[in-house]
């Protein structure tokens, strides 16, 4: 991994840690989002009796319920060059990140209780920072195999 990517991932890690702390302060987690997704999938696909689906969602919801802790853990994974895993854990902890954030803004507008001050809470700033952390992180470039050379004739 080149120096630029390493620096980006270290920056991403630091931002994710700050985001996680903000989410912990405000008590934000992705639990509700993932629980709603679970109910939708199980009801629409008629999978209530499928134990494997239940187990998968139980694990996803458990991680999502950790909220800020999951975001911090994801940031640490990014710092250890486990970028895909780190980004996924951050995504779970924030409840789908930007999608959940936009959804909550739309819901607030629809219900008539949206204010611009609601964007300045620790939770909102934590979600925004977690999105930034995911965007900054860069995977390590895969080594390309050198072309095989023909034996000298």
Residue 152 lies in a domain: no
Give CA–CA dist 152/94, Å, rounded.
Answer: 58
What is the average pLDDT across 65-76? 93
Report yes or no on 45 lying in a domain. yes
Q: Is the pTM of this model over 0.85?
A: no
Range of the domain at 18: 3-136
Kindly compute the dihedral angle of the four CA atoms of residues 73, 75, 77, 82, in this order, to the nearest 10 degrees: 140
Q: Does 102 map to a domain?
A: yes
The answer to the question of residue 146 being in a domain is no
Asked if residue 149 belongs to a domain, the reply is no
Specify the pLDDT at position 151.
Answer: 66
Q: Look at the chain and report how many structural domains it folds into.
A: 1
Residue 113's pLDDT is what?
83
Within-domain flag for 141: no
Could you tell me if residue 126 is inside a domain? yes
Most confidently modeled range among 25-29, 104-108, 116-120: 25-29
Average pLDDT over residues 98-102: 75
Give the pLDDT score at 27: 84
Average pLDDT of the chain?
85
Instruction: Judge whether 85 lies within some domain.
Output: yes
């Amino acid at each position: 991994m080149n120096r630029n990517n390493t620096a980006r991932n270290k920056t991403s890690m630091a931002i994710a840690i700050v985001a996680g702390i903000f989410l912990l302060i405000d008590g934000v987690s992705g639990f509700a989002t993932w629980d709603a997704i679970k109910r939708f999938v199980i009801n629409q696909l008629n999978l209530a009796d499928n134990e494997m689906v239940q187990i998968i969602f139980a694990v996803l919801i458990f991680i999502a319920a950790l909220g800020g802790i999951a975001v911090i853990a994801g940031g640490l994974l990014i710092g250890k060059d486990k970028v895909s895993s780190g980004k996924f854990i951050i995504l779970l902890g924030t409840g789908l990140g930007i999608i959940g954030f936009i959804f909550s803004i739309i819901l607030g507008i629809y219900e008539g209780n949206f204010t611009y001050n609601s964007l300045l809470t620790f939770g909102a700033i934590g979600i925004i920072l977690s999105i930034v952390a995911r965007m900054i992180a860069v995977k390590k470039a895969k080594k390309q195999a050198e072309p095989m050379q023909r034996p000298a004739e």
